[in-house]
Amino acid sequence: MMIFSEILVLFLALVISVTLVLMLRKLFFGRETKIKIDKKVNSRELFESATSKSSEGEFVEEGNLDEHSKTDISDPSQQEEEIANTHSDMITLHLQNTEESKFSYDAIKKFLSSNNIEHSDEGGWFKISIEEDDSFLLVNGLNPGKFIPEDGLIETPIMTLIYSFKSKANSVSAFSKMIEITQLIAESFESEILDSDRNSLTKQMVDHYSEAAEEFDLKNLT
């Protein structure tokens, strides 16, 4: 029968082993993301009730926005086939606020300028420059996909960020910069960051998007 000292030694050995495993795991899998992991919502439900009475309350879909065009980004004439072809080559994130603390057009413009984020106002939506000729979109997350001050459309409860992979760009680096700017906006406006399915963004989804960007870059090396 084991004496107390032997049991204590075995217990301490177990604690040390678990500690070493956790340290090695952290070393090999990197630092934790600053993004909060929250399982609580599918944000589509939060907005359907508030926006179901107006066509402007419909969500902007990923394929409805063309980063390389300065035409009306909510142009409904784009074909479903084109949307399907480009969907896999895009990363979409959303920033959600409440109806009581909406994003305003002027506040977004002020934020981008005060934080020295290189951007251009494309007529109610923004193109954010990240490196060389690469960029992503920051748009009103509800249709028509942009702010229209002359029509009084100057606020929205959700903003959408869209990055389209490009063959000559560093997609991994671009996505990293996109995440950085997304976090800055979220912290400033006290927003929740959502993934492309409008669920709370998790570390796992960040890794998934990063892997998709890396896979795209590797395919386009040749």
Residue 140: band (very low, low, confident or very high) from pLDDT cuts 50, 70, 90? very high
Average pLDDT over residues 158-176: 93
Compute φ and ψ for 105, nearest 5 degrees: -55, -50
On whether residue 4 sits in a domain, the answer given is no
* Residue appearing with tokens 């992979």: 165
Half-sphere exposure of 61 (CA within 13 A, CB side): 12
Q: Is residue 190 part of a domain?
A: yes
Domain membership of residue 20 (yes or no) is: no
Contact by Cβ (8 Å): 95, 103: yes
Start-to-end CA distance of the chain, whole Å, equals: 67
The answer to the question of residue 33 being in a domain is no
Query: Which one has a higher pLDDT value, 164 or 42?
Result: 164
Is the model's pLDDT at 64 over the cut of 90? Answer: no
Q: What's residue 134's pLDDT?
A: 93
Lowest mean pLDDT among 28-37, 99-108, 175-184: 28-37
Domain range enclosing 135: 41-219
Confidence of residue 156 (pLDDT cuts 50, 70, 90): very high
**Residue 186 domain flag:** yes
- Phi/psi for 178 (5° steps) reads -60, -45
24 domain-assigned: no
Q: Is residue 60 part of a domain?
A: yes
Q: How many domains does the chain have?
A: 1
Classify residue 28: in a domain, yes or no.
no
Per the omega criterion (within 30 degrees of 0), is the bond before 157 cis? no
CATH code of the domain covering residue 112: 3.30.1400.10
CA 124, 130, 134, 138: dihedral to nearest 10 degrees?
Answer: -30
Instruction: Write the CA distances from 67 to 39, 116, 122, 205, integer angstroms.
Output: 31, 21, 11, 23
